[in-house]
A and B are shown apart, each in its own frame.
Chain A
Amino acid sequence: MLFDNASNAVNEIVETVTETAADASEMSIPDAAITAVFGYAVVFFGLVILMIVLYCLGAYFKKKGAKAAKDKTAPVITAEAAPAKELPLAPGSAGHVKLYDVPDKEAAMIMAIVADKMQKPLNELHFISIKEVK
């Protein structure tokens, strides 16, 4: 009932605007004002609805992404961290760096670039972990 009433009201406004615009050459200033306000409202309405749809979509994907990340991170850390304990430390080393989805070669390259950019010797820097941002 409420939906029908709202629908009828919108139809009436649309008909009024279309009728006032039908004879475009004789458009009066009040008719132009109504058309302008109604047009602006339609653009707002359309984009607000689209915004709501995008929020719903975003919320669903954020939830899904968070769940996937939770499932994924736990086993990766243990798998990478476990064998590291067994390796002996290099002379002068500050410890092992934890790598998450980053190959050794790329990690070495990243550390070298960081050292170069910071203009500090590599053995004075302590890298805790390197993680690929997806």
Chain B
Amino acid sequence: MDIIETLKILWNDSGFHSFFVNGGYKNLIMIIVSFGLLFMGIKWKFEPLLLVGIAFGCLLVNVSNFGPGSTDALYHPELWDNFLNSAHPDYHSYGAIMREGGLLDILYIGVKAGIYPSLIFLGVGAMTDFGPLIANPKSLLLGAAAQMGVFLAFFGAVCLGFTGNEAASIGIIGGADGPTAIFLTTRLAPHLLGPIAIAAYSYMALIPMIQPPLMKLLTTEKERKIKMEQARQVSKTEKIIFPIIVSVFVILLLPSTAPLVGCLMLGNLWRECGVTERLSDTVQNALMNIVTVFLGISVGSTTAAARFLTPETLKIVALGLIAFCFSTIGGLLVGKIMCKLSGGKINPLIGSAGVSAVPMAARVSQIEGQKANPSNFLLMHAMGPNVAGVIGSALAAGFLLAVFN
């Protein structure tokens, strides 16, 4: 046995060698990025349930994939290129993915088919109390207003040279709704899934830092001090009828929202109807956790260095921040209008909760309200726009899907 030759073969096969050839240094950069994301998730608790999985998926793909020749890679972007190429024999062939793909390719099928985001919505529906929204339907206006960032970022992305499909996927970051962003991006611009998902979840985690300065800038001290009257009690029957009405109405209006809105409302119906507690418990806990495991790691796998380290990623990160800021501004401005029209009965701070990061955005409204007036309790009032934002972002995604798909 020629030890030197064997060592040479081992070195040439190793990932360490790959760092020095064919732009392998980019993988090294992405490995460092994954460490940064892991740090953010674990140390700073930035959406840890998803970010830790995404970061580790990013790490796994970048230590195993050094370009098209990487046979042992866990994820193969080129297979997914073939999957989307209508001229290729493997066009829309999940069989080819199962046959030739790695572990992360197989897990990614759930993202590609839109299964994981929809199942996450099932769990979100089962965990959400729509009572504050039913008690105060005006909250829906704030949820609608807070989609402003989606369409402004879409416009901005087109101005920066992105295609319509890519711009729509970037814009939806402003909806502050991770599953919706993933759902829309896999359909319209799957090659941008990595940066869009990371931007969406990072900004959602940064809401307590992004929103308060805008809230203070756009509202007066007097407005922030406004105490809101307690909302009415919502009956059980109303809570049961609500998901049924929303499903029928929203899906008839925009059929492309069916997977998201349908699952969201089914989960909520299981929660509220009182006869399916076991199912509600399962989707809130076991199923939600299982899907989160698969979703995080498979989204992370789309961050292969060659695809991720591009100038477009920086543009997406910047546009995502703009989308978030303008969504907050949209909600606050309509909140101010409602405050004026109601004769000062509505605290405009609840408008910023119209972005659908539940319940983080509502908590920020509560904290800022209480800073201005320690006896102020805005949490339940802010939950109305917050859950309205979930429906609003699903509607925005449905519109963009209907137009661009």
Contacts and interface: CB of A to CB of B under 8 A. Distances in A.
A25 B395 contact: no
Contacts of B80: none
B147 A43 contact: yes
A25 B250 contact: no
B403 A47 contact: no
Interface residues of B, number: 45
B147 A40 contact: yes
A29 B140 CA distance: 30
B134 interface: yes
Nearest to B148: A40
Most chain B CB inside 10 Å of its own CB: which residue of A29, A43, A55: A43
A65 interface: yes
Given A36-B152, A39-B396, A24 B404 contact: yes
A43 B403 contact: no
B167 A61 contact: no
Interface string A53-76: 111011001100100000000000
B147 A58 contact: no
B246 interface: yes
A18 interface: yes
B142 to A, nearest CB: 9
B40 to A, nearest CB: 31
Interface in B123-155: 133-135, 137-138, 140-141, 143-145, 147-148, 150-152, 154-155
B137 A42 contact: no
Given A27-B163, A27-B167, A39-B403, A32 B144 contact: no
A29 B202 CA distance: 29
A33 B158 CA distance: 9
A51 to B, nearest CB: 4
A46 B253 contact: yes
What is the predominant secondary structure among interface residues of chain B facing chain A?
helix
Interface string B362-393: 00000000000000000000000000100110
Contact of B232 (A32, A51, A62): A62
Nearest to A37: B151
A36 B155 contact: yes
Contacts of A43: 144, 147, 392, 395-396, 399
B140 A51 contact: yes
Contacts of A32: 154-155, 158-159, 164, 167
Contact of B395 (A18, A29, A47): A47
Contact of A39 (B137, B151, B165, B250): B151
Nearest to B402: A18
Given A36-B152, A39-B399, A40-B147, A50 B164 contact: no
A134 B144 CA distance: 32
B399 A42 contact: yes
Interface of B: 133-135, 137-138, 140-141, 143-145, 147-148, 150-152, 154-155, 158-159, 163-165, 167, 232-233, 235, 237-238, 241-242, 245-246, 249-250, 253-254, 388, 391-392, 395-396, 399-400, 403-404
The 8 closest A-B pairs by CB, nearest first: A24-B164, A32-B158, A54-B137, A36-B151, A27-B164, A47-B144, A47-B140, A51-B140
8 contacts: A21-B404, A29-B158, A32-B167, A39-B400, A43-B392, A50-B249, A50-B250, A58-B238
